Amino acid sequence: GFTKEKVYLESKFPFSNIDPTNFQRIADMIEKRYELTHLNFTKTKDIMPYVDKMFDLFNSSYADLSSFVAITDVQKEYFKKKYISFINPEYIKFVMDKNNDIVAFSIVMPSFSEALQKAKGKLFPFGFYHLLKARKDSKDVVFYLIGVHPEYQNKGVTAIIFDEYFKTFSEKGIVNCIRTPELEENHAIHNLWKNFNPRVHCRRKTFIKNL
């Protein structure tokens, strides 16, 4: 008696698919037009003062999705302690307005799949080493979150983020880019990636039964 509720698509594309001319030519123009600047990081401690505002922006940018549940203050503290330290700080990008408020952000994480396989599910004695090595050296990256303030959506702000990631990934020798599951009905996010020719490699569904 269960019926399909939601469909989530997970896709990937090789870094070689990326043609930087699609966004490089407009990134500078968008920054000048809207008086925006980009922030890059090399140390986790430099990111922490911005994390609460980042999650606030996440809540506002995803609020219209039917399955979205806002992140609470308690969850913010949990995520800061549990996950931020595992993210290579070079893989977090912010776009700021002239008032130093965040108008766009993106979080990418190195893929830990191979490291977890080598660790065989155990952190000790050597599993932690594989995770730390993957944090720095993994050639596959996973796009976890990207958010744009509603006032700046459809204004090309993501070109700034993509331009900065292209520079970082080129330096790191990244091979594959993986997107975490996204709602099939979230056409805005699918359009964001269409120029990279992603391939759907996993389709997830949730089911519901009225009682």
The pLDDT tens digits for 2-25 are 999 999 999 999 999 998 987 888
Q: Where do the DSSP E strands lie in the chain?
A: 3-14, 37-39, 92-96, 102-110, 140-148, 176-183, 199-208
DSSP state of 59: H
Backbone φ and ψ of 91, nearest 5°: -100, 10
CB 76, CB 132: distance < 8 Å: no
Q: Among candidates 116, 118, 156, 112, which has minimal Cα distance to 135?
A: 112
For the ranges 77-86, 89-98, 105-114, the one whose mean pLDDT is highest? 89-98
Mean pLDDT value of segment 93-97:
97
Cα–Cα distance measured from residue 87 to residue 33, given in angstroms and rounded to the nearest whole number: 31
Round the average pLDDT of the chain to a whole number and report it.
Answer: 89
Cα–Cα distance measured from residue 107 to residue 104, given in angstroms and rounded to the nearest whole number: 11
pLDDT at 2: 95
Q: Is the predicted pLDDT of residue 204 greater than 80, yes or no?
A: yes
The pLDDT tens digits for 27-55 are 999 999 999 999 999 999 999 999 999 99
The pLDDT tens digits for 173-189 are 999 999 988 889 888 88
The pLDDT tens digits for 121-168 are 777 777 777 777 777 778 999 998 899 999 998 899 999 999 999 999
Q: State percent of the chain over pLDDT 90.
A: 58
Structure tokens at 111: 């893929």
pLDDT at 69: 86
Whose tokens are 């050296």? That residue is 137
Structure tokens at 149: 């303030």
Task: Report strand pairing: 199-208 vs 176-183.
Answer: unpaired
Backbone φ and ψ of 210, nearest 5°: -75, 130
